[in-house]
């Protein structure tokens, strides 16, 4: 039996051809086949780098059927290099399906790293980079979009989103409505001539793009919810929804002793222990008087 071929995930530039890596060029030259999301777009790249490897189309609308064909070709010994429109295959494009099917078939998958719009935007955004979440594009379906936005409401990590120019204004308005105003950066046309990285706030950006037509490619990098603010909101909700006595009871029923329960109640309500103690005394006294 022939030895299996390999699946290479080859990152390509997101605008600036100088971001093509030496390794990407070599792998694309050496592969038996290039599976490209947009063959017409990729041909320009291949011509530029003098790459003559045969190309086949692999895109959103044929991804499942075509992935099976590509997997069979790799099982018969051919090496396939997957390239998508731009950037890193597998990030918000059909690459993911091919990777899963290749791994399921026991084929080796090799990443060939390079440009990625999400990471480029994040690192230059000026927002916290230590913890972040990537949501790609918000769903077009209204119900699904609301569900995602609801999940993001309390997200404390930096949020990275892709957005198409024709939907940018509407998305910013929705973000303002759901997340409230907070710092964000608009990262536009990265690595291209008109690259722009603009630290702003959601409210300012929403107002700006109501007036201005959005043009080009955008990544939105939004500050996560402030952890202290989130904790204070949660404490307020607990204080409003339950009496100190009922709160104590919850912890006592979980097996805590009185001292431990008072400490936990104080923490969850964001109040000093002496206030818990005072409330319990007051509650006990008023019950005794009744």
Rule CB under 6 A: which residues touch ligand SAM?
14-15, 84-88, 91-93, 116-118, 162-164, 187-192, 217-219
Name the β-bridge partners of 10: 112
Does an H or E element contain 278, and which?
helix 273-289
What is the Cα–Cα distance from 219 to 163, expressed in whole angstroms?
6
Residue nearest to ligand SAM (CB): 87
**Residue with Cβ nearer ligand SAM (4 or 160):** 160
What is the Cα–Cα distance from 290 to 288, expressed in whole angstroms?
6
What is the Cα–Cα distance from 209 to 120, expressed in whole angstroms?
22
Query: Helix, strand, coil proportions of the chain in percent (round to 5)?
Result: 50, 20, 35
- 3 state SS of 200: strand
The distance of closest approach from Cβ of residue 275 to ligand SAM in the complex, given in angstroms and rounded to an integer, is 49
The distance of closest approach from Cβ of residue 95 to ligand SAM in the complex, given in angstroms and rounded to an integer, is 7
**Residue with Cβ nearer ligand SAM (51 or 82):** 82
**Residue with Cβ nearer ligand SAM (4 or 82):** 82
**Residue with Cβ nearer ligand SAM (78 or 192):** 192
Which letter, b or e, does each residue of 214-233 get, where b requires 16 or more Cβ atoms within 10 Å of its Cβ?
beebbbbbbbbbeeeeeeee
The distance of closest approach from Cβ of residue 94 to ligand SAM in the complex, given in angstroms and rounded to an integer, is 9
Estimate the crossing angle of helix 273-289 against helix 244-253, to 10 degrees.
Answer: 100
The distance of closest approach from Cβ of residue 204 to ligand SAM in the complex, given in angstroms and rounded to an integer, is 19
**Residue with Cβ nearer ligand SAM (116 or 223):** 116
The distance of closest approach from Cβ of residue 99 to ligand SAM in the complex, given in angstroms and rounded to an integer, is 13
């Amino acid at each position: 039996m022939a030895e299996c071929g390999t699946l290479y995930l080859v990152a390509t530039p997101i605008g600036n051809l100088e971001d093509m890596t030496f390794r990407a060029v070599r792998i694309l030259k050496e592969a038996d086949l290039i599976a490209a999301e947009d063959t017409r777009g990729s041909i320009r790249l291949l011509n530029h780098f003098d790459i003559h490897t045969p190309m086949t189309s692999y895109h959103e609308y044929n991804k499942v059927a075509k992935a099976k064909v590509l997997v069979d070709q790799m099982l018969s010994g051919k090496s396939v290099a997957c390239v998508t429109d731009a950037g890193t295959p597998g990030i918000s494009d059909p690459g993911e399906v091919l990777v899963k099917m290749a791994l399921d078939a026991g084929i080796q998958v090799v990443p060939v790293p390079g440009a990625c719009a999400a990471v480029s935007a994040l690192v230059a955004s000026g927002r916290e980079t230590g913890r972040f979440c990537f949501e790609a594009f918000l769903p077009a379906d209204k119900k699904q979009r609301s569900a995602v936005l609801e999940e993001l409401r309390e997200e404390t990590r930096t949020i990275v989103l892709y957005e198409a120019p024709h939907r940018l204004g509407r998305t910013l308005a929705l973000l303002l409505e759901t997340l409230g105003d907070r710092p964000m950066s608009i990262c536009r046309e990265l690595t291209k001539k008109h690259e722009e990285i603009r630290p702003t706030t959601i409210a300012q950006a929403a107002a700006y793009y109501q007036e201005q037509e959005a043009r080009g490619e955008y990544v939105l990098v939004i500050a996560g919810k402030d952890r202290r603010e989130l904790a204070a909101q949660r404490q307020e909700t607990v204080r409003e929804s339950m009496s100190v006595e009922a709160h104590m009871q919850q912890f006592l029923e979980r097996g805590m002793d009185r001292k431990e329960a008072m400490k936990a109640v104080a923490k969850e309500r964001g109040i000093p222990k002496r206030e818990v103690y005072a409330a319990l005394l007051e509650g006990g006294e008023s019950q005794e008087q009744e």
